[in-house]
Amino acid sequence: MVSIIEQCQVAPPTCAIDKLTLPLTCFDTLWILHNHHIPRILFYKLQNIDKISFIQNIIPTLKHSLSLTLKHYLPLAGNLVCPWNSTGYPELRYVTGDSVSVTFSETDMDFDYLVSYDHIHNAKDFHPFVPKMAEPKDASGVQFTPVLAIQVTLFPNHGISISCISHHVVGDESTIVGFINSWALLNKNKGNDDHDDKFIVPFYDRSVVKDPYGLGDCIWEETKKHKKEMMSDIIVTPPDNNNNNNNNNNNNNMVRGTFTIRRDHIEKLKNLILLTRPSLTHVTSYTVVGGYAWSCLVKSENATEIIDENVMECFGCAVNYRARFDPPLPSSYFGNCIIWYIASRKHVDLVGNEGFRVATESIGEIIYKRNKDKEYVSNGEWLKEVGGASNEGRYLAIAGSPKYDLYEADFGWGKSQKWHFVFFGSGLLMSLGKSKDSNGDLEIGLYLPKTRMNAFATIFSDGLSVL
């Protein structure tokens, strides 16, 4: 059970500028149509924290540091502005008076259970700690949609969780993790605004993102055509327990699992690939871990139902394209700059004894091929491939990256005990990130029906045990 202590709005300080407007690029605009929110939750262990201390000390400090952080991240306090009934173009807009919805709450749920790596967790156990995004508001055919909400929950004498839910149109993993880490740094430093090198000051110049084929305009026109069917999904909240997902499994049956793959296992997987595929040009931790998890996931479905062996399985490699622009974009660029490379193979190729090798080879080859093809990005072919893979219905999407480490988000309470995405949607989503305890280890997060998760866990651990 979760009870609300305080619900408030946190705005940037009055010294912030009066208005900031950012036009959307093609990388941003696609998220209006494919509306997407993936909440993140961070759990911190504080054994001596009670409700009085939480209210008197934690809440005021978090509000103050958040306000100071928003001074640099103004679009997060603003709105997505969509002029549906005019010739205008959507934008992110902050004006004085805009703010972020923040909820402070308390729960009697078991903190140690929620942060445990030894349990497969019921997916709905995490829903009470995710904030609800405020509803859009309409004014003369122009829609204003908030892009960020935050919830902080006290587990008395155990810890605190911090959850952020953001509209994907405002920024990708690089942007949102930069914001959270910067907020944590200011909170740890008691609001001291004299930044060190760890504070990420966003880069806002959208003119550096070239769109020679006018993809942004095309995406916006397509978005307006599909407005009605899209708007029903604009608000993301925990799903009704009676809804079904794409696999016809009740959401009550969905569970979340976290799996750690150690650095020595990663090295053994690399060696196994290089031994049998010495000419493969792109063998990295990402490709071998992605290939191993993908093959285990496909095999786990075979353990629970009969699948057409000729159906195509697709793996979406999320790529941060900032450094690949000419000239490169700054790593602190605020917004979206993610594209996908799609690896695909027949189901039968991934479930056999060579499944891991086939999966890793497919991922490595598509990354190597697409990295050399800048025209593929400029002309929008990648969007067509992603759309085709998504429509097939057998598409594994990857969230997160080992390059962005939220375990480093220290609000003054040390590293988080655990952090992960919360997934409310349908389809398959796998998260990939750094491990909390060991440099070089990686964590995989999955949401699956319980029977399939059990099958995956067995296949995953058995395969690593024989390396």
Residues designated as active site: 168, 410
Task: Please count the other Cβ atoms lying within 10 Å of the Cβ belonging to residue 268.
Answer: 14
Q: How far is CA 407 from CA 6, 74, 280, 301, 443, in A?
A: 27, 24, 33, 31, 12
Q: d(Cα 2, Cα 181) in Å, to the nearest integer?
A: 26
Phi and psi of 167, rounded to 5°? -75, 130
Phi, psi (rounded to 5 degrees) for 108: -105, 15
Q: Going by DSSP bridges, is the β-strand pair 142-146/137-139 parallel, antiparallel, or unpaired? A: antiparallel
Cβ–Cβ < 8 Å for 79, 134: no
First to last CA, the chain: 44
- Tokens 């400029």 sit on residue: 378
Q: How far apart are CA 386 and CA 395, in angstroms?
A: 9
Q: In sequence order, what are the residues at sequence separation of 6 or more whose Cβ sits closer than 8 angstroms to the Cβ of residue 312?
A: 344, 345, 346, 347, 392, 394
Tokens of 25: 């690029």
Exposure class string for 342-371: b at 16+ Cβ within 10 A, else e: bbbbebbbbbeeebbbbbbbbbbbbbeebe
> Cα–Cα distances in Å, from 58 out to 114, 184, 430?
21, 12, 33
Alpha-carbon gap, residue 316 to 342, rounded angstroms: 5
Retrieve residue 5's tokens: 């202590």
